[in-house]
Structure 1
Amino acid sequence: MNINNFRFDQVGLNRFFGPLEAKIMDILWEGSEKSIKQVQQRLEIEKSINFNTVMTVMNRLLEKGILQKRVEGRTSFFKPVKTKEEFIEEQSKKLTDNLLDEFGGLVVNHMLDSLTEVDQQLLNRLEEKIDQLKKGKKQ
């Protein structure tokens, strides 16, 4: 699944999705599959949202490969293809790979420079990764 429009000026899921898409995904990532009507009802807690609008957005997410659909009678049930954690992992990896391809070592330097507070666990994982890379290149 490819998210083509990464938004640097947004935060959270809004970096990958439009505002309504992000709200729908958050609802669907809560657990069990849901119908369009169930999602619409959850969204209406904040403001009135048209059923057809929710249906259109959910069908677009389906076309993008982010949701899957199951039909039972006349009702369609939707659920995410990946967990929220899997989705974020996949998209952050793609973003990092794209940045590295385009800008090389500068990206790594900037990432390290942006670590304002040293998280010892993160530092330990980075050291392990670097050691693995070094061992892999020596063989």
Structure 2
Amino acid sequence: MNNDENKTLLKILGPLEINVMNVMWSKKEVTVQDVLTELNKHNNYAYTTIMTIMSRLDKKGILTRSKLGKVYIYKPNYSLNELLQQNSSEQVEHLLNHYGDIAITQFVDAVGHNPDQLNKLKELIQKLEQDDK
């Protein structure tokens, strides 16, 4: 995970949630004990702390858990990129719902100051127009 992704992720998740998700993304399917073992290579967390974090991530829809015997198996619902895209989409939708055309104007104004982003926006608009034909 690069520094920009980490900064963005800190706006979505807390530091310990990020550590848990990093284990999840590297292992794909784990128990609380698996995550605890991995995290405690460099820390000293209690089982109940990690269990609480993973339960919260399940309630947020970021993880899914299923019972296997007496333990829960957790799986990530999103890759890192998918989670960032999902959150970005929710943020944009929120802005558009609350500010409408003002949000669009501000977005275009902000993009207009960066030639690379402006070109990307132009490409996306052209693709959208072609897809509508």
Q: Map 1:99-138 onto structure 2 (within 5 A).
A: 99-115=95-111, 117-119=114-116, 122-131=117-126, 132-133=128-129, 136=132
> RMSD in angstroms over aligned alpha carbons?
2.7
Name which of 39, 42, 63 aligns with 1:43. 39
Deviation at 1:21, TM superposition (A): 1.4
Specify the alignment match of 1:29 in structure 2: 25
Instruction: Specify the SS of the correspondent of 1:29.
Output: helix
Confirm whether residue 82 of structure 1 aligns to residue 69 of structure 2: no
**Can you list the C-alpha shifts for 1:42-101, whole angstroms capped at 9, x where unaligned?**
222332111111001111211222211133333322111222222221211110111122
Number of positions where the alignment pairs a residue of Structure 1 with one of Structure 2: 126
Runs of 4+ in 1 over 6 A off after TM superposition: none
TM-score (norm 2): 0.75
Contact map agreement 2:61 2:77 (CA 8 A) in 1: yes
Structure-1 residue corresponding to 2:3: none
What is the letter of the counterpart of residue 118 of structure 1?
P
Q: Establish whether residue 97 from structure 1 lines up as the match of residue 93 from structure 2.
A: yes
Change (3 A) 1:101 1:134: farther
Higher normalized helix content (fraction of residues): 2
